Structure 1
Amino acid sequence: MKFGKEYASQMVPEWQEAYMNYDSLKTILKDIQRMKQRSRQNGGLTRAMTLYRAFSGLVQGQEKTPISPSKKDIESQYILVNSVSKNGSESYETTFLKVAEEGGECEQEYFRRLDDEFNKVDNFLNILAFSKIMKKYDKITSRRASTSYMRMVDNSYLSISDEVTKLMERVEDTFIKHFSNSNRRKGMNNLRPKTKKERHRISFSLGLFVGCSAALILALILIIHARGLLDKRGKTQYMENMFPLYSLFAFVVLHMLMYAANICFWRQYRVNYPFIFGFKQGTELGYREVLLVSFCLAALALTSVLSNLDMEMNPKTKEYEALTELLPLGLVLLVIIVLICPFNIIYRSSRFFFLASLFHCICAPLYKVALRDFFLADQLTSQVQAIRSLEFYICYYGWGDYKQRQNTCKSSGVYNTFYFIVAVIPYWSRFLQCLRRLCEEKDPMQGYNGLKYLATIIAITTRTAYSLYMGFSWKIISGIFSAIATIYGTYWDLVVDWGLLQRQSKNRWLRDKLLISSKSVYFAAIVLNVLLRFAWLQTVLNIQFSFLHRQTLITIVASLEIIRRGIWNFFRLENEHLNNVGKYRAFKSVPLPFTYCEEDEDHNE
């Protein structure tokens, strides 16, 4: 691993500003390197540099008298490092002695920035980083400035003082005595940063299920085309009955894929998501583990779809209609059994973590709201169609429709009533969480946030009424409330949750602190969020496409909302990590492993 990546991986995320900005210094060195290359291509030194050397007496080849060792040492230097006093505190300034040479201004800027970094981290020093960056400078410029600069670093207070060493030893002894039962090996294992071991079996299994999923998708397309299933009379019946059952798995898999992408980017940009969510140390899932579970579920669902089609088309098994229809129900029951399995298999700690947060969301406002709880509730607001699919499961199998392969659910008043209720459950849970936090924290922003979810509940209710009963009046009402809820929600996403659109920011219309260097990414995310927020227009305007079945169009719109939520997740947690906009939790301290004293094998649950 290159030093820059290793250095970044060892940073304490909450203290990133206290570390040397190694990448910015490397960028300056690359500029210096390009200047040196251009200089060599142009045939040597410029006239200005020649005059400078001639008049400054630095051309040693013209010296006729021997130079004393002290004088020679001074003239061979390229920098002078001085200690100065500013505002009552000691700092260091480096004078670059070759400013007149070509590219000298860039090198002078490098040392100015290097001094800024050193003075910034003088109380939080990483000597190895300064040694590495100065070696790169010497290699690029063919100078020997690192000796002089590192002499200053080595003579700084932190390097020569033994106070830090004594404090470290005292902390280690105290921790080992009180939290590790005087077991030094166990205590030091807890205090040292841990790197999760990358397991080859996860990579192998992930590749296996990705390949299986791709092969099954291809097989499904070929079977549909070869047997002309889209042209058969049973197409409408299949789309009304079976498609809503299997689309549930598509929604779940898509959401998990977006979450895996979030984890990948959070790690890349050093967002401390395990600490923010409150995962037990060492048990949080990486993006590979989430992808493994996602593609495993996808492969099972696709296998079930192909088995269902094969049994339905095969004359020998076509008479077993009821058994054929039970395949998706069996898969749902299998997922539920795995989710609640008490044995230490299939990421038990993560499963129980999810179930605990889900229980808190369902029981809101009875439990104190943690960030992981309201974050999960926000995810559920983007899975309304999946929750409606679960309602369809209960109706289709509970009322026996699967035996006759018919769908009488929508003709039932009870089903239509719950069709309203299940759609607003996630938003109602989120509304109650806001009320709980308003009462506890006395923060009016929580009240405004609750009004946002209340407006969304009204909008969803009116849109559902329009989709069931049609009518011009329902269309107008649903359009008005949907517009209000969308504008309100879009403003909250961009300004409050993401902390963007700040006019006075040094990054205009964004915010002062950005983890992604390319500002266009933020503007693209803003545009995408606005466009995907208005996906509800399809329901209000009753937009239909002749080549798409109504259930397919509903699935596409629901998938767009899941994608929007996945984009929202990254910037929401980035803003929480940087600025604590939600005023829920500060991240100025690092969680010590006082309650994490289990053995190593328990960390990989």
Structure 2
Amino acid sequence: MTSKKDFKQQMVPEWEKEYMDYEGLKKILKEMKSSKQTTHNRSLQHRLRLERAFRGLPLQGSNHQREGDIEDQVIEVKTLEQEGSKQLYKTDFHKLHEEGGEAEARFFQKLDEELNKVNAFYKDQVEAVNHEFNLLSKQLEALVALRVKVKSPDTELKQILSSPEETAGQNHQPKDSMIGTEVDPVQQTNRNIHHEEQAEAHNNYNRRDPLEILEHVKVDNSLQSPMSTFKKAFTDSSDNELSFSKEELRKIEEQLRLVFVEFYQKLLHLKDYSFMNLSEFSKIMKTYEKRTSRAASTAYMKVVDNSYLGSSDEVNFLLEKVESTFIRNFTHSNHKKGRKLLRQKTKTEKHSITFFTGFFSGCFVALLVATILRITSQQFIKKKKGTFYMENIFPLYSLFGYITLHMLMYAANTNFWKRYRVNYPFLFGFRAGTELDYREIFLLTSGHAVVVLLCFLINLQIEMNSRSQQYKTVTELVPLILVLLVLLIIFCPLNIIYRSSRFFFIRCLFRCICAPFLTVRFADFFLADQLTSQFQAFKSVELYICYYGLGEESRRQKKCHSRGIYNCMRQFYEEGDMNRAFNSLNYLSTITAMVFRTAFELKKGSSWKVLALVTSAIAVLQNTYWDIVKDWGLLQRRSKNPCLRDKLILPRRSVYLIAMVVDIALRISWMQLVFEMDWSPLHKVAIITVTSCLEIVRRGIWNFFRLENEYLNNVGNYRAFKSVPHPFSYYDDKEDKDD
């Protein structure tokens, strides 16, 4: 029997409210109060059963007529008038006059509501996948025709015309319901007729000449590049003739194959939905019998099994059809390969990840303690050489510190998203099984931190040791080597260090850069938001350009903080928010504040300081409002949760209130850099570093609630699967002429 935890884990998160409410029904059963009369009835029924057993009389369920006589005294399930094409069920409870009968009547009322809800949802989803399958059939037909035109093999054309896809449909024999109970023969006959009509219609459709199909088809290149978009703008759109190379045909095949895989996964989830709900109905009825000693399970489960949820075989039919079609058209009838592509494996936890994470974490703690002791033992910071080092060399390593902290926050985010069942792989668009969980992210974070801290400690040791001054120039190249190493790993084409995730990051970053020319997805917006919190990391990149490009690492002339390029890079950071301002005028206030702050740094003066302070305050207020109300969806009017929203994932509402206060406080901390205080160079570096780290922490908190709000919006629309665009679109000649 499936446990409560396993049942919840197997749910489609976006459909959670549409599953049978087992816990709600179980709560009603717990509320039933036993009385003396009920106890007497139970003992009497038990005695009668024992007497029948000794007399050799059949027990409940062995004689249909006797079973009906007994159970009809408890409940009678009626089928009401159909609402559209959906059947509604209502149970009359015949023991209402007995003590505790009201609670039992309420139980069956709730049970009927759940059965009607599940049936209606399942029927809507099955109708939707049937419609989607018809569209996929037309897409595949266009692909086959395009293959003929590009490759033009006579054997293939002959095979297409003589061996259409309907083979699986003709040989298909619908199966009984999953629970294995009795099915109405009239309903079974109707289903068989329906499948035969569907297969026959599909056969007639596929007997058309594939080459004629291309006259009504054009390609929707959703996987376009900036160049293709630019080219399309200057191309005559009325020219719909398909002329493709083999490479372009391969890309279309890959896209349509992905469509089939996602559709197959949706069908598997629908099949699981049916099986899980049928199991829960059976389980709750057995629990009811144990608590009340009333024999009502068989009668009610017969109705459940004959309902659309239990009797419909549409999903099984489509699963077989899609599988046979996919294997024949995309794997050259290789059944093993086809099933492997369709039935994607779930990720399994590896003990090696846990081991190396612990190993790297221990190394990091040891190196951190060694670094702190090394600095404090010789009072390095108090020396002039130490001040210069922390002001000029430390920012080179701080770049990796900001990246490490951001990765650590993202690992924490994925942990909490998984714990509270926020479907982040779907929201970000990860391919199934390729997303990184918090253990893998933390492994990368700890490994990255150990390498950086080790290099920093070696560099610091050489700087403090007068005997190793001849190696100083070489060691100062270490930060640059680290940057090149990180870039090499990110862009490495070899299948190592989570290549799919690295390439996913590169694609998102590329779409952020090419936003005017490419469709921007949620993952791209999310990444752009992360980059806006890494303004100090971008400043470190500018420092790298100055420090190594101008030869500062050898001359040590301390000119990188006074050259014009430094302030030019500040404008670049401001324009980083322009990406967000492009989608929302809300960020105009941030840009304005940054402009006045830059002018204040350049020109000084009390008037510029006041302008910088006022614009920064406006930006803080507006961005805080946007974070809490728009991105998090909180502070909603007429909400059942005061100052929050109706739907919340976290069990404690106080967490949301604390998060809002923390967000405001960390936003305000951003303003303190406006004030021109008499800071020493070392204190200024420390304050900037702490402020930048707080901004990254704020962004990590923002990430959780932002994705929670996005997830709840998806739940409201039942969007649980990736929407992969179809490569072909059909049009009618008459409509095309009108256009």
TM-score interval, normalised by the smaller of the two chains:
0.7 to 0.9
Which residue matches 1:466? 600
Residue of structure 2 aligned with 1:50, choices 31, 36, 39: 36
Alignment deviations for residues 505-545 of structure 1 (CA, whole Å, 9 cap, x no partner): 34343333333333333233222222222222211245788
Match of 2:347 in 1: 196
Distance in structure 1 (CA, Å) of the matches to 2:604 and 2:73: 81
Aligned pair partner of 2:655 in 521, 526, 551: 521
Q: What corresponds to 2:719 in structure 1? A: 587
Q: Distance in 2 between matches of 1:162 and 1:364?
A: 45
Q: Could you tell me how far 1:591 is from its partner in structure 2?
A: 4.9
Name whichever of 81-90 and 407-416 sits farther off.
81-90
1:79 positional shift: 5.9
Q: Distance in 2 between matches of 1:313 and 1:2?
A: 63
Deviation track 1:100-120 (CA, whole Å, cap 9, x = no partner) reads 999887766555444332221
Map 1:531-542 to 2 at 5 A: 531-542=665-676
Counterparts of 2:721 and 2:416, CA distance in 1: 23
Q: How does 1:13-412 map to 2 (within 5 A)?
A: 13-22=13-22, 24=24, 28=27, 32=30, 49-50=35-36, 59=44, 80=75, 82-85=77-80, 88=83, 89-93=86-90, 111-123=108-120, 124=122, 125=274, 126-134=277-285, 146-147=297-298, 149-192=300-343, 194-412=345-563
Distance verdict in 2 for CA 1:312–1:135, change over 3 Å: farther
Question: Is this contact kept in 2: 1:96–1:111, CA < 8 A?
Answer: yes
Give the percent of matched residue pairs that are identical in Structure 1 and Structure 2: 49
Summarize the Cα distance change of 1:237–1:590 in structure 2 as closer, same or farther, 3 Å threshold. closer
Shift of 1:302: 0.8
SS in 2 for 1:488: helix
Structure 1 415/271 Cα, relative in aligned 2: closer, same or farther at 3 Å? same
**CA 1:494 to 1:141, structure 2 compared with 1: closer, same or farther past 3 Å?**
farther
- Residue matched to 1:42: none
Q: How does 1:447-526 map to 2 (within 5 A)?
A: 449=584, 451-467=585-601, 469-526=603-660
Distance 1:550 1:202 in 2: 39
CA contact (8 A) 1:58 1:75 kept: no
Native 8 Å contact 2:14 2:718 kept in 1: no
Secondary structure at 1:82's aligned position in 2?
A: strand
Q: Name the SS of the counterpart of 1:572 in structure 2.
A: helix
Aligned to 1:421: 571
> Which runs of 5 or more residues in structure 2 are unaligned?
123-273, 728-739
Contact 2:13 2:720 in 1 (8 A): no
Measured in 2, the distance between the counterparts of 1:243 and 1:513 equals 45
Q: In structure 2, the residue corresponding to 1:194 is in which secondary structure?
A: coil
Please state how far the C-alpha of 1:414 moved relative to its aligned partner.
3.1
**CA offsets, 1:472-515, max 9 Å, x none?**
21221112211222222222222222222221234343333333
Residue 289 of structure 2 contacts residue 295 of structure 2 at CA under 8 Å; is this kept in 1?
Answer: yes
Distance 1:364 1:193, change over 3 A: closer
Q: Secondary structure at the match of 1:411?
A: coil
The alignment yields a C-alpha RMSD, in angstroms, of 3.9
Whole-Å separation in 1 of the counterparts to 2:627 and 2:89? 44
Deviation at 1:240, TM superposition (A): 0.6
- Using structure 1 for the length normalisation, give the TM-score: 0.81
1:388 Cα deviation from its structure 2 partner? 0.3
Structure 1 range deviating more: 244-253 or 103-112: 103-112
Q: 1:317 to 1:480 in 2, by over 3 A?
A: same
Q: CA offsets per residue over residues 196-221 of structure 1, 9 Å max, x none?
A: 12222222222221221122112222
Structure 1 pair 580–304 and aligned structure 2 pair: CA distance change class (3 A): same
What corresponds to 1:601 in structure 2?
Answer: none
Distance 1:216 1:99 in 2: 73
Taking structure 1 as reference, are residues 303 and 131 closer, same or farther at Cα in structure 2, changes over 3 Å only? farther
Query: Which amino acid is 2:460 matched to?
Result: L
* CA deviation profile, 1:355-399 (whole Å, cap 9, x unmatched): 222223233423332222222111111100110011111112222
Report the Cα distance in structure 2 between the residues aligned to 1:429 and 1:276, rounded to whole angstroms: 21
User: Once the 2 structures are TM-superposed, how far is the Cα of residue 330 of structure 1 from its aligned partner?
Assistant: 1.7
Summarize the Cα distance change of 1:136–1:404 in structure 2 as closer, same or farther, 3 Å threshold.
farther
Deviation at 1:96, TM superposition (A): 6.7
Alpha-carbon separation, structure 2, partners of 1:348 and 1:82: 57
Residues 423-476 of structure 1 deviation map (CA, whole Å, 9 limit, x = unaligned): 2132123334x2xxxxxxxxxxxxxx1x22222111122223334554321221
2:577 maps to amino acid: Y
**For structure 1, which runs of at least 5 residues remain unmatched after alignment?**
40-44, 435-448, 596-605
Contact 1:544 1:550 in 2 (8 A): no
Contact 2:509/2:527, CA 8 A, preserved across alignment: yes
After superposition, the C-alpha distances for 1:219-248 in whole angstroms (9 at most, x for unaligned) are 222222333334333332122112211111
CA offset digits 1:34-73 (Å, max 9, x no partner):
x79xx9xxxxx6xxx225667x89855899xx89988898
Q: Equivalents in 1 of 2:658, 2:19: separation in Å?
A: 30
When structure 1 is superposed on structure 2, of 355-364 and 479-488 the one drifting more is 355-364
Aligned length: 561
Q: Distance in 1 between matches of 2:656 and 2:351?
A: 35
CA 1:192–1:184: 2 relative to 1, 3 Å: same
Partner of residue 554, structure 1: 688
Partner residue, 1:9: 9
Counterpart secondary structure, 2:646: coil
User: d(CA) in 2 for partners of 1:543 and 1:216?
Assistant: 34
Matched to 2:317, the amino acid is K
Larger radius of gyration: 2
Give the counterpart letter for 1:50 in structure 2: K
